Amino acid sequence: MITASELTKRYGDKTVVSDLTFTVRPGTVTGFLGPNGAGKSTTMRMILGLDAPTHGSATVGDRAYADHSAPLHEVGALLEARSVHPGRTAYHHLVALALTHGIPRSRVAHVLDLTGLTDVAGQRVKGFSLGMGQRLGIAAALLGDPATVILDEPVNGLDPEGVLWIRTLLKSLAAEGRTVFVSSHLMSEMALTAEHLIIIGRGRLLADTTVDRFVRESGAGTVKVVTPEAGLLTELLAAPEVDVTSSAPGALEVRGTDAEHIGRTAAAHGIPLFELTPHAASLEEAFMDLTRDSLEFAAHLEPA
Partner 1 sequence: MTTIALTPARVLRSEWHKLWTVRSTWIMLAAATALTVGVGIAIAASYDQDGGEAARFDPVQFLLFGTQFSQIILAVVAVLFISGEYGTGMVRSTMVAVPRRIPVLWSKAGVVTAVTFTATLATLLVTFVSGQLFLDGTDKELSLTDPGVFGTLLAGTAGLTALALIGLGLGALLRSVPGGITAFIGGVTVLPEVLRMFPYDVMDSVAKYFPGRAAEGLMTLRDTSDYATTGPALLALTLWTAAILAAAALLLKRRDV
Determine, following the binding rule CB under 8 A, whether residue 84 of this chain makes contact with partner 1: yes
Shorter beta-carbon distance to partner 1: residue 48 or 288: 48
The number of angstroms, rounded, from the C-alpha of 158 to the middle of its chain's C-alpha atoms is 16
Q: Which of 10, 101, 224, 261 binds partner 1 (CB under 8 A)?
A: 101
The region of 43-51, 230-238, 275-283, 294-302 touching partner 1 under the rule CB under 8 A is 43-51
Q: Give the whole-angstrom CA distance, residue 205 versus residue 38.
A: 10
Shorter beta-carbon distance to partner 1: residue 86 or 228: 86
The site map against partner 1 for 178-217 (x = CB under 8 A) is: ----------------------------------------
Q: Give the whole-angstrom CA distance, residue 236 versus residue 182.
A: 45
The region of 47-55, 218-226, 260-268, 272-280 touching partner 1 under the rule CB under 8 A is 47-55
Q: Give the whole-angstrom CA distance, residue 286 versus residue 218.
A: 6
Of 271, 277, 258, the residue nearest 229 (C-alpha): 271
Determine, following the binding rule CB under 8 A, whether residue 247 of this chain makes contact with partner 1: no
Taking the complex as a whole, how short is the minimal distance between the CB of residue 280 and partner 1, in angstroms? Answer: 41
Rg of the chain over Cα atoms, rounded to whole angstroms, equals 24
Taking the complex as a whole, how short is the minimal distance between the CB of residue 154 and partner 1, in angstroms? Answer: 15
Of 165, 142, 141, the residue nearest 155 (C-alpha): 165
Shorter beta-carbon distance to partner 1: residue 54 or 282: 54
Q: Which of 99, 164, 239, 280 binds partner 1 (CB under 8 A)?
A: 99
User: From residue 108, how far is each of 115, 144, 150, 153, 204 by CA, in Å?
Assistant: 11, 9, 19, 23, 38
Shorter beta-carbon distance to partner 1: residue 80 or 235: 80
Q: Give the whole-angstrom CA distance, residue 247 versus residue 77.
A: 47
Q: Give the whole-angstrom CA distance, residue 13 versus residue 164.
A: 41
Q: What are the residues binding partner 1 (CB under 8 A)?
A: 45, 48-52, 65-66, 69-73, 75, 77, 79-80, 82-89, 92-93, 95-97, 99-104, 140, 144
